[in-house]
Amino acid sequence: MLFNSLEFILFLPVVFLVYWAIKSLKYQNAFVILASYVFYGWWDWRFLGLIILATTTSFFCGILLNKFKEKKFRKAVVWANVIVSLGILGTYKYYNFFAENFSHLMSLAGIETGFVTLELVLPVGISFYTFQTLSYTIDVYRKNLKPTNDPLAFYAFISFFPQLVAGPIERADNLLPQFLHSRCFDYSKAINGLRQALWGFFKKIVIADNCGVIVDRVFENYQDVGSVNLFVGAVLFSIQIYCDFSGYTDIAIGTSRLFGIGLRRNFNFPYFSRDIAEFWRRWHISLSSWFKDYVYIPLGGNRKGKHYTIRNTIIVFLVSGFWHGADWTFISWGAFNAMLFIPLLMTGKSRRFKNSTVAENRVFPSVKETLMMGVTFLLVVIGRILYRAKTIPDAWQFFKRMVTEVTITKPLIDKTLIPLIIFLFIMEWVYRKKQFGLDISGHGLLKYRAVRWSFYYILTMIILLQTSSHEAFIYFQF
């Protein structure tokens, strides 16, 4: 079920009313599971078996890890869970990639392997809930987390529908306790949640979907498009994917607040970053932190010297690229970002903006900050060409034409889209110290309820008047 669909608009209020009508924590959690499975199964009910299998395996692994103290047995249990979880993910997402590449490699040596690909549909959200179940089991194994014996709370934690298919990738230490204790309706949090969800709908339906129309036209016909429009297409794709994914996150976090549940932040205005290291601390925060805790640190992190730190950083970026998709374009995109990150790492500048906000205590950024944000955004745009192109040669030809085939043509961008994009970034700049771009309560004229609600009404009308089709969220494919 898509957030930007009529089904969800009808589904949400019904679930909300029934949820708060139930006073028993046990039955409330049971209803969350039921509603979440309806939400997920609306796309294809057959794949419910996968999420139930992954959840059940992790739940009982947690119990076994708590029951047995012998290190050898505990290690076997956690590895069994890792193999099952990654086996499911690998079969559906990566089998064809490895089969095709292995077969091609063997054919170069004159050996015909006879490998066949599988006609499998990638289940929506499998990468997200797989990482969520894995982190639970690993944390229990490390004794960083005490496992739960409450199956209803655990199944609700894994399947909670707002964040089920595209994150944020929640950790058990944050989300699971919220299903173990009674929840009370909080009006102020609910209103704040609706505000954030509204901003998410604006970013997705108004900005991302309209950008997507132009982006598709440019990337599908790049051989016939002039350099100006190639650049416009690359820039708009970066805006599209940000508004699409962070828009989903805003709707997920906002919707969760309606149910008394707090999800972790996943985006922190990444396009206001002053270098690529700051960008990756602000973009898809839940995934970056997951790879840090479960890949980078176990590999040794930065504890074994600069060479090992560089190696571990490269591995994380390559794995991150591969997580996004079973294609060499995504792996190359990961490698490209590693190349941008390593110079900052080697010069000791990768953490220089960790605890600061651009234009701190100022309305406008300095010239230096503006240039740094511009360069960082340009590098992200270039990397996104690899991300969006069908093949690496396509990405190279796209970039080559963009910088060499200089032609002055009319930009394809719709004139009505430009002011909306400008409005988006103005709002996010003004509220860059807040949690999201529409976190406007108590600020200037917007502290008056009549002004705020007029503003919400206008924003809602802009969303409802959009004629673009309701497109699936980009990250559903991951």
- Respond yes or no: is residue 307 known to be catalytic: no
Of 478, 424, 371, 455, the C-alpha closest to 203 is 424
Query: Helices (DSSP H) in 405-475: which residue ranges?
Result: 417-430, 449-464
Q: Is-contact 180 263, C-beta < 8 A?
A: no
CA atoms within 13 A on the CB side of 464: 7
- Name the DSSP class of 432: T
Residues constituting the chain: 478
Q: What are phi and psi of 226, to 5 degrees?
A: -70, 165
Residues 6 or more apart in contact with residue 332 via CB below 8 angstroms: 321, 386, 392, 395
Q: How far apart are CA 104 and CA 107, in angstroms?
A: 5
348: which 2 tokens? 């000791």
Question: Position of tokens 């996968």?
Answer: 50
89: which 2 tokens? 């993910």
Q: How far apart are CA 83 and CA 241, in angstroms?
A: 31
Maximum distance among all Cα pairs of the chain, rounded to whole angstroms: 75
Please work out, in degrees rounded to the nearest 5, the angle formed at the alpha carbon of residue 210 by the alpha carbons of 209 and 212: 65
Q: Is-contact 39 19, C-beta < 8 A?
A: no
Q: Is-contact 64 77, C-beta < 8 A?
A: yes
Residue 375 corresponds to which amino acid? Answer: V
3 state SS of 345: helix
Torsion of CA 274, 279, 283, 288, to 10 degrees: -150
Of 250, 266, 278, the C-alpha closest to 375 is 278
Q: Which of 104, 181, 284, 324 is catalytic?
A: 324
Q: Is-contact 66 147, C-beta < 8 A?
A: yes
Q: Is-contact 254 197, C-beta < 8 A?
A: yes
Q: How far apart are CA 471 and CA 476, in angstroms?
A: 11
Q: Is-contact 139 173, C-beta < 8 A?
A: yes
Q: Which active-site residues does the annotation give? A: 324
